[in-house]
Structure 1
Amino acid sequence: MSPDALVAHALTLVEESFIASAGPGGQNVNKVATAVQLRLDVFMLRLPPEIFHRLKTLAGSKMTAKGEIVLTARSYRTQEQNREDARKRLAEMLREACNLPTKRAKSRLNRVGKTERLAGKKIRSDVKAGRGKVRLD
């Protein structure tokens, strides 16, 4: 499944609820529930294990023990802007989980580089060994 198809499928399964916000809004913040809370049951997506584990790592504390990702957005004054913000953050998290991490290419030192590195380590070792207590033996 492509990342965009996964995001589209996930956004159909999202449950939204609006809660009272403590963010910007003046007196309006006490009257209108502008913050949005998104809940997505990850198991409903039927993700391959490797993508699921990356998503679990990315979500961190936002994922509950039941396998739900809970995102709260309260940065803006309107429900619509907060809803858009939360959906963007969820979509970005899902896309990032679909990306395979790039494998690190092993570096290889040549013989001269290796001997220079070991010589530097020996010099540093001698400096540190000379810092001990002076013995009068």
Structure 2
Amino acid sequence: MALQVSNTVEIPDHEIEMSAIRAQGAGGQNVNKVSSAIHLRFDIVQSSLPERIKEQLLALQDSRISKEGVLVIKAQQFRTQEANREDALARLLALILDACRPQKARRATKPTKSSQRKRLDSKKQRGAIKSQRQAKW
């Protein structure tokens, strides 16, 4: 079953590599014996995603994306392997959808007259305080 990103875009299962590993941290005997954490690897460059989405994903400043364009997600929040598998896929989907979302354009604005006046008044006040500290000869 493929991961459905949108109505037109889906990621086939063979492009997502998942392996079970032992989780880290607290959990006692269960953590030490059972490989319940999931290590998800997704090669962005070699994927069947549209070029626009690939470029946006690779442009993200995310530490989970390597220089070669491989996204690595480690899911170990839950006790069961299946729940961690679903969590890893959900996090992959969330990252892709976040990259697809268009960035809000920033509109340049000017400070208001009153904010400029307040700023200058506070600078004058601060300067007056500092000038009072100076030793008078």
Q: For the aligned residues, what is the CA RMSD?
A: 2.9
**Identical residues among aligned pairs (%):** 33
1:29 aligns with 2:55: no
**Shift, 1:120, TM fit:** 2.9
Deviations 1:76-118 (A, max 9, x none): 1111000001111111111111112212333334445534432
In structure 2, the partner of 1:134 is: 135
Alpha carbons 1:7, 1:91 under 8 Å: kept: no
In structure 1, the partner of 2:75 is: 73
Unaligned runs of 5+ in 1: none
CA–CA distance in structure 2, aligned partners of residues 63 and 85 of structure 1: 18
**What TM-score do you get using the length of structure 2 for normalisation?**
0.73
1:43 and 1:95, CA in 2 relative to 1: closer, same or farther beyond 3 A? same
1:51 aligns with 2:56: yes
CA–CA distance in structure 1, aligned partners of residues 112 and 63 of structure 2: 45
Instruction: Give the aligned length.
Output: 130
Alpha carbons 2:44, 2:58 under 8 Å: kept: no
Instruction: Report 1 or 2 for greater relative contact order, CA contacts < 8 Å, sequence distance ≥ 6.
Output: 1
CA–CA distance in structure 1, aligned partners of residues 56 and 8 of structure 2: 11
